[in-house]
Amino acid sequence: MQKITIAIDGYSSCGKSTLAKSLAQKLGYNYIDTGAMYRAVAVYALQNNLILKNNKILVNELILQLDKVEVSFSFNTITKTTETLLNGVNVDKEIRTMQVNDIVSKISSIKEVREKMVALQREMGKNKAVVLDGRDVGTNVFPDAELKLFMTADYDVRAQRRLDELQSKGQYFTHDEVKQNLMTRDYDDTHRKENPLIKAKDAITLDNTDLNKEQQIEYVLKLVSEMKLLTTIEEN
């Protein structure tokens, strides 16, 4: 059966990663969390004192150190999960903090950072059979992806999802604080100069405000099946 590339873009806390991971597992595809890659760069910046107290980024210094930043993924055979590695060290916990949330959109807007991460993403997905999620996967990284999704959801629903995630990791904030963070990130993502978050013309909108995980997976798997069937008919 023909292998395809599935590109999932959309706003923060819409469940892109959860859906992408499940799809990759169901299809036997590789999964690439592009957002985690930018978060890993943010962690590097924090670890190396490149972020000032007001969240101002020392951009020039970060650019000069980009050759020291290696981001990769490794499948943990024990936990059956894909781990994000920064210079060979698992940073899955560090990349999901509110501190990283506050700066990752600004980190990802830096041209040199995006160029390096996009090059890595294209190399990882060059053989297809891959599911990627992020902000510009369908518009910039893989504009020829066979299936493109654009995910969205109600702000309050998204805020509650992020709040639950943070609390599960021992991080406590108010609903309003998390909602404001999401609104700020949306603005930064959609207004950045380098490859802003926009819906690709051929992307299918998936509003999961009222959909559970199982319903989302079922819907997308149906799309994949229909697409592969259509491809087979056209080839014959």
Question: pLDDT at position 230, please?
Answer: 53
Range with the poorest average pLDDT among 15-19, 35-39, 226-230: 226-230
Cβ(206)–Cβ(219) below 8 Å: yes
**Total structural domains within the chain:** 1
Is 39 inside a domain boundary?
Answer: yes
Cβ(156)–Cβ(183) below 8 Å: no
Is 168 inside a domain boundary?
Answer: yes
> Is residue 45 over pLDDT 50?
yes
108 closest CA partner among 123, 89, 95, 127: 95
Is 232 inside a domain boundary?
Answer: no
> How confident is the model over 91-100, as pLDDT tens digits?
999 999 989 9
Question: Per-residue DSSP letters for the chain?
Answer: ----EEEEEE-TTSSHHHHHHHHHHHHT-EEEEHHHHHHHHHHHHHHTT-B-TTS-B-HHHHHHTGGG--EEEEEETTTTEEEEEETTEE-TTGGGSHHHHHHHHHHHT-HHHHHHHHHHHHHHTTTS-EEEEESSIIIII-TT-SEEEEEE--HHHHHHHHHHHHHHTT----HHHHHHHHHHHHHHHHH-SSS-----TTPEEEE-TT--HHHHHHHHHHHHHHHHHHHHHHH-
As a whole number, the mean pLDDT across the chain is 91
> Is residue 151 over pLDDT 70?
yes
Given pLDDT bands bounded at 50, 70 and 90, which one contains residue 75?
confident
Residue 21 sits in a domain whose CATH number is 3.40.50.300
Is 231 inside a domain boundary?
Answer: no
Given pLDDT bands bounded at 50, 70 and 90, which one contains residue 76?
confident
> Is residue 77 over pLDDT 70?
yes
Is 230 inside a domain boundary?
Answer: no
Region 65-86: mean pLDDT is 89
Question: pLDDT at position 156, please?
Answer: 96
Given pLDDT bands bounded at 50, 70 and 90, which one contains residue 229?
low
Q: 3-state SS of 73-133?
A: EEEECCCCEEEEEECCEECCCHHHCHHHHHHHHHHHCCHHHHHHHHHHHHHHCCCCCEEEE
Segments forming the whole domain that contains residue 73: 5-224
Region 151-171: mean pLDDT is 93
**Which of the two residues, 39 and 236, has the higher pLDDT score?**
39
> Is residue 147 over pLDDT 60?
yes
Given pLDDT bands bounded at 50, 70 and 90, which one contains residue 227?
confident
